[in-house]
Amino acid sequence: MIYSSTRGSDINLKFGDVLLNGLAKDGGLYVPNSLKSYSEEELDSLRELDYSSLAFELTKDFVLGEISVSEYKKICINSYKRSFGKEIISFDKLDQHKYIANLFNGPTYAFKDFALQLLGNIYDYVLKKRKIKLTILGATSGDTGSAAIHGCAKSNNVKIFILFPLNRVSEIQRKQMTTVTKKKRFQYSSERKF
């Protein structure tokens, strides 16, 4: 898949370059030049897939050119089965037509684990392949920081710094961020609000 900036000057880049750039040089966001359409039959075929397989099927086209199909399948399986345990996502039925999705089965009990466990493993794969390291600087007012730290926890190629406002995150969120003992994981509290 090929990506371009929403502001138009950073165009026709591959997934790995977009991943490592973050924001486009012109300040825009990277978006795919085109997206796949799904037929009703294709959508129907996704119904019975487990979460790892569903994530793979819906996102594989985004990484092609940087990650092979077989390698990406392994990344999806490892991202969810190892980090979420047996039940990745579950549903509570309220009535005949209403359900609640339980999105708290990841390592930090936040819905952001669904994206950041996969993203951390994608970063690790691309960085190993290119034989480079990456430093991530993030700021959070809650669960994004801990989900990002845990998403990158297995990588020796990522150094992550997370800032959070002093006394403005829950005690659980603070502990999730500050008790990770892996190397290259740094957490700082700030008296400033953001």
Active-site positions read 112
State the Cα–Cα distance between residues 16 and 134, nearest whole angstrom.
13
Beta strands in 59-98 (DSSP E): 90-93
Query: Residue with structure tokens 């990344």?
Result: 75
State the Cα–Cα distance between residues 143 and 177, nearest whole angstrom.
9
Q: Which amino acid is at 162?
A: I
State the Cα–Cα distance between residues 149 and 16, nearest whole angstrom.
21
As a dihedral over the C-alpha atoms of residue 130, residue 52, residue 60, residue 139, rounded to 10 degrees, the angle is: -60
* Buried/exposed code over 64-93 (b: 16+ C-beta within 10 A; e: otherwise): eebbeeeebbebbbbbbeebbeeebbeeee
